[in-house]
Amino acid sequence: MFSSSVIIGQEKNYLDHILAKENTLSSKEFLNTILKIKYDKALIDAKKYLLLTEKAEQIAIKIDDKKSLAKAYEAKSLAYHFSSKTELSIANNLKAIKIYKEINDNESLANTYINLGWKIKNSDLDKAIFYMNKGIKVLEINNLKPIDLSGAYNNYGVLKHRKKQLDSALYFHNKSLKLSIINKDSIGIPFAQTHIAQVYIKQRKFKEAEKKLEKSLEIRKKRNDIYGITDSFLYLGDLYFAKKEFNSSLKYFKKAEKIANKNSYFPLKKYATEYIYKSYEQSKDFKNAFKYYKIYSQLKDSVLNKNTNSKIAELKIKFETNEKEKEITEQKLIIKNRNLYTTLLAAALIILIILSLGYYHRYQFKKKQLQKEIALKDALSKIKIQNRLQEQRLRISRDLHDNIGSQLTFIISSIDNLKYISKDINNNFKSKLTSISAFTGDTIHQLRDTIWAMNKSEISVEDLHARILSFTEKAKIAVTSTNFKVEYDIDKNSNFSSLMGMNIFRVIQEAINNAIKYAEAKNITIKLSKIATNFTATIIDDGIGFEIYEIDFGNGISNMKKRMNTVNGFLKIDSEKKKGTKITLKVSLKNTPNDV
């Protein structure tokens, strides 16, 4: 029987072994060692592999090796892709394409186009097919490596499957399988087999699909390919789900979910969780279906969000605009060169010199004009995008205020009326109504905070300071035994993005609430300051304190950490029994994340 824990340990030791070579190999040797790490081994620990690719990037820049730098960007793109950081993955892909064009490396350029197509398949399938087809044509025309073509055909077949062109998908998957067998490619063979099986499942050819999946799983187990094994379990789950054998589908989806969770394979974990809840739902086990639906919803929200999709669209626009502008510039240069050659052949030496000088000045002038036009187009494009996003933000905030806000206010009013309808209502029922009313009121306040952030493209320190003062004033009314103090030592005109400002306010708000609820504090102090290029907020209470390692952090602390991670921030908790608690959060003012 397959033992995932032993294999995972072996593979992680492999990446640790590579890291350990940094001090024993020359920079060039260490760089080459990192770039030779195979796909399946890299994905065992995406975070550790990302660390290695960053080291490779630094070395390549230092020794001025362009090709190695492009390969390092490709490796980083892979690490980000399997950590579900799609925008960073695409950005590194584009960097690699730019370098391969500069050094005329057709083979690498083709593979990078193929990878780019694969990564944008969820956001723009037609563009994905275009780039992948472009890469395949370069490989075929230049008679490049068959092993690269086998992977390209396989991925292209997946895109054809998504377009519901099943015969075309099978054609390319079978081409991939034949090339993989010829090259004895133990990674490519099972990939092609699982994708052929996927088409068979769609065609309800379940026996043929099961044979292909069993063969692929056998190969992957022999290779200790953890990612591949997880992938095979998911396809087996798909098979039994299609056959409506939900006990079997649950068995394989749960196997896949366990390994994906242990190895941070976020896209595979999300897929497994989705079909676990769907299998339970089909089995009429609604309790477990609801449990896994909540997990799936959290994963879906963290992996596919509006910010990420907007950033991906922005990267695509920039890349396509750059490609078109290059083509226009190249066409203009070709026309100008033809005119120049005709003039040179027809003119005498003196006329040639005069015309050459005139041409040079004209060229420089037009070049400057073209640059100005391009800069203007870019500026207009950015302004249009910003305006559209601002309009959307305002529309959503208006909807929240007019619809949800008014409905919550109506609920509070209705509950308050219920409390006075009859004198016969017992105190316990009135207490429940009061609790619901208070909870709804708190929801309105949170809704107003969200609308406040959404209505602004940027939030200043002064805005944040005012919001904190407003919150503490309300807290003083609710908790008269506690003193609140807000101090700041920072330019009020310093700005955050609305996303960053909202997350900072929510973390400070949660820290104050925790101090009020649990610390029994007499004094709570909030300090806002700037150290170097970092904004720092400190929340200090003189309450009962606690031992960090003796408690189990609840959702409040976990949400605070998640919010700071969202804005690349830092959160630290210092506490000691009977000596109070100090919570410090820190974010960079130098590179605030874009929240549009």
Q: Which of 385, 414, 443 is the last residue of a domain?
A: 414
Residues 388 and 464 in one domain: no
Instruction: Identify whether the C-beta of residue 419 lies closer than 8 Å to the C-beta of residue 433.
Output: yes
Tell me phi and psi for residue 160, to 5 degrees.
-65, -35
pLDDT per residue as tens digits for the range 512-545: 888 888 888 899 999 999 887 889 999 999 999 8
Relative to beta strand 534-541, strand 523-531 is antiparallel
User: Does a structural domain hold residue 345?
Assistant: yes
Looking at the structure, tell me whether residues 402 and 463 fall in a common domain.
no
pTM over 0.85: no
3-state secondary structure of 243: coil
Q: Look at residues 396, 414, 432 and tell me which one is the last residue of a structural domain.
A: 414
Distance CA 50, CA 82 (A): 10
Same domain, 475 and 402: no
324, 393: one domain: yes
Identify residue 22 by its one-letter amino acid code.
Answer: E
Say whether both 319 and 388 belong to one domain. Answer: yes
% the chain with pLDDT above 90: 20
Do both 390 and 486 map to the same domain?
Answer: no
Predicted local confidence at residue 315, as pLDDT = 47
Our count of domains for the chain comes to 2
Please report the pLDDT score of residue 306 as a whole number: 42
Structural domain contains residue 482: yes
Q: Which residue has the higher pLDDT, 536 or 591?
A: 536
Identify whether 379 is part of a domain.
Answer: yes
The answer on 580 and 474 residing in a single domain is yes
Do residues 409 and 464 both lie within one domain?
Answer: no
Whole-number pLDDT of residue 406: 53
- Torsion region of 244: left, alpha or beta (phi above 0 gives left; psi -120 to 50 gives alpha): left
Arithmetic mean of pLDDT, 300-321: 53
Q: Is residue 313 part of a domain?
A: yes
pLDDT at 344: 74
Structure confidence at residue 248 (pLDDT): 93
Which structural domain range is residue 357 located in? 308-414
Three-state DSSP state, 124: coil
| 414, 448, 473 - which closes a domain | 414
pLDDT of residue 416: 65
pLDDT(331) > 70: no
569 plus 482 within the same structural domain: yes
Is residue 358, in this structure, part of any structural domain at all?
yes
> Which region, left, alpha or beta, applies to residue 532 given φ > 0 means left and ψ of -120 to 50 means alpha?
left
Q: Are residues 403 and 482 in the same domain?
A: no
Who's near 217: CB < 8 A, 6+ residues apart? Answer: 190, 229, 232, 233, 236
Lowest mean pLDDT among 191-205, 449-463, 513-527, 580-594: 449-463
Specify whether 392 is located in the same domain as 468: no
Q: In the numeric block, which tokens belong to residue 316?
A: 């695509």
In a domain, residue 571? The reply is yes
477 is a domain residue: yes
Q: Are residues 376 and 488 in the same domain?
A: no
| Residue 548, domain CATH | 3.30.565.10
Domain presence at residue 442: no
